[in-house]
């Protein structure tokens, strides 16, 4: 869109910010609704609207309509992610399965990989608006298994073995600190995910490797969520979060260590292998505290993540306008992630004291 539709760098950052504003509004909506049947309906409606908003992008070159589309996309995708994650976790707990979301969140990585592969295959020979239509068709096809396989909601207060579902919330201090740490994770994720293609394409000798890097991120993100669930089972969720955050910092900084393709690819793999894992771990941890209404607390957590997703692209885009490069944004992202890893460590200490 930057090359073919003349989308300026500052406008690209604004579109990312307004997309995440919609995501934040969706998270707020999820935090306010308790009825599981309504959540199920909104999840399904959100998925349809998400596809429709993707179609909107290819129908015009009007920036205002693009902005409206991105806001709707953020709103609907948050509804799908929050309500979908909460409904899945509730179903897992009710059926006495591991209360983990790794398999569920592996779909995010799969989506990144599929879209990146499609973008690479289409290349510059396929116009930007046709590419949006292709992505819309992919999304439409994925609605079929989504709606066919998704379990029906259950309002009962007991599991299938007769155990009563009871919430056991953590202390307010613990929850507040976790929200701040999750804010840091959102900041580190959004800057890298939003601008890594442009950053890589701006590096000498790597002008056409941006989509390939994003493909590597998606390929790594898919199975990583399942792997982090396994790690968390062995060492604890918060210990896993500390390790994942530290690895992600390395992944964010590697592309800036010389611009060699191998370092960029390794960085993309490390970033992809941790970004969705952190989201999955945090939402699984908080959801377990509230088995009767996991989507509600997930929505509150995602408010912190969503605020970071609004601030991050806006700051990075302004830096790019002033200095002509998004690269500084990666250093900022790594610094904020360093703070997040320290906070996850403090949370682990608080958990040990509580126990």
At 1-12, the pLDDT tens digits run: 767 767 776 677
Give me the mean pLDDT over the 110-118 stretch. Answer: 83
> The dihedral of CA 85, 89, 94, 96: what is its sign?
positive
The yes-or-no verdict on residue 200 having pLDDT over 60 is yes
Structure confidence at residue 225 (pLDDT): 87
Percent of the chain with pLDDT over 70: 94
Say if residue 51's pLDDT is above 90. yes
Q: What does the mean pLDDT of the chain come to?
A: 85
In angstroms, the CA 319 to CA 293 distance is 40
Decide if pLDDT at 103 tops 50: yes
C-alpha pair distances (Å), 23 with each of 185, 264, 309: 16, 29, 9
Q: How far apart are CA 317 and CA 101, in angstroms?
A: 32
pLDDT score of 321 more than 80: no
Residue 50: its pLDDT value, please?
A: 93
**pLDDT: which is higher, 85 or 339:** 339
In this prediction, residue 246 has a pLDDT band, given cuts at 50, 70 and 90, of very high
**Token pair 């299938």 in the structure block, residue:** 160
354 pLDDT higher than 60: no
Cα 257–chain centre separation: 26
Residue 182, pLDDT > 90, answer yes
Those residues whose C-beta lies under 8 Å from the C-beta of residue 100, and which sit 6 or more positions away, are 92, 229, 232, 233, 280, 284
pLDDT in tens, 271-298: 999 988 999 899 888 888 888 777 778 8
Q: What is the pLDDT of residue 2?
A: 66
Two tokens at 354? Answer: 């509580």
Phi, psi of 158 (to 5 degrees): -130, 160
What is the three-class DSSP state of 355? coil
CB–CB of 216/193 below 8 Å?
Answer: no
Alpha-carbon Rg for the chain in angstroms: 20
- For CA atoms 328, 330, 331, 333, the dihedral sign is positive
Neighbours of 304 (CB within 10 A): 23
Whole-angstrom distance, CA of residue 206 vs CA of residue 210 = 8
**Each residue's pLDDT tens digit, 330-347:** 888 899 999 999 999 999
Predicted pLDDT at 157: 67
Give the pLDDT of residue 153: 80
- Of the pLDDT bands very low, low, confident and very high (cuts 50, 70, 90), residue 355 is very low
* Separation between Cα atoms, residue 259 and residue 200, nearest integer Å: 8
13 pLDDT band (50/70/90 cuts)? confident
Which pLDDT belongs to residue 347?
A: 92
Q: How far apart are the first and last CA of the chain?
A: 53
Looking at residue 18, its pLDDT comes to 86
pLDDT at res. 245: 95
Name the one residue in this structure whose structure tokens are 């309504």: 38
Average pLDDT of 255-284? 87
Fold of 9-152+167-350: Growth Hormone; Chain: A; (1.20.1250)
- DSSP letter at 124? G
The whole-number pLDDT of residue 180 equals: 94
| pLDDT at residue 260, rounded to an integer | 80
């Amino acid at each position: 869109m930057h090359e073919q539709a003349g989308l300026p760098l500052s406008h690209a950052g604004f579109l990312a910010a307004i997309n995440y504003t919609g995501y934040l509004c969706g998270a707020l909506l999820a935090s306010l609704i308790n009825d599981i049947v309504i959540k199920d309906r909104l999840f399904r409606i959100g998925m349809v609207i998400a596809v429709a908003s993707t179609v909107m992008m290819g129908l015009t070159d009007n920036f205002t309509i693009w902005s409206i589309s991105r806001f709707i996309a953020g709103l609907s995708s948050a509804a799908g992610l929050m309500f979908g994650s909460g409904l899945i976790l509730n179903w897992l707990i009710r059926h006495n399965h591991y209360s983990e979301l790794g398999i569920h969140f592996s779909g995010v990585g799969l989506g990144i990989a599929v879209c990146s592969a499609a973008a690479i295959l289409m290349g510059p020979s396929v116009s930007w608006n046709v590419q949006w239509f292709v992505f819309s068709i992919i999304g439409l096809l994925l609605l079929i298994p989504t709606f066919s396989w998704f379990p029906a909601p259950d309002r009962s207060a007991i599991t299938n073995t007769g155990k009563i579902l009871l919430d056991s919330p953590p202390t307010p201090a613990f929850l507040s600190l976790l929200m701040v740490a999750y804010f840091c994770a959102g900041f580190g994720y959004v800057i890298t995910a939003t601008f890594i293609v442009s950053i890589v394409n701006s590096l000498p000798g790597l002008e056409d490797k941006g989509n390939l890097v994003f493909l590597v991120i998606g390929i790594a993100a898919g199975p990583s969520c399942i792997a982090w669930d396994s790690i968390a089972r062995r060492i604890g969720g918060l210990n896993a979060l500390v390790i994942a955050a530290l690895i992600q910092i390395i992944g964010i900084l590697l592309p800036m260590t010389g611009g060699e393709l191998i370092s960029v690819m390794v960085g993309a793999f490390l970033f992809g292998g941790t970004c969705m894992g952190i989201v999955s771990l945090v939402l699984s941890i908080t959801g377990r505290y509230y088995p009767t209404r996991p989507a509600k607390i997930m929505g509150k957590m995602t408010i912190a993540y969503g605020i970071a997703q609004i601030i991050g692209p806006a700051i990075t885009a302004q830096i790019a306008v002033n200095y002509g490069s998004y690269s500084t944004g990666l250093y900022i992202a790594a610094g904020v992630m360093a703070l997040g890893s320290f906070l996850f460590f403090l949370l682990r200490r608080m958990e040990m004291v509580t126990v």
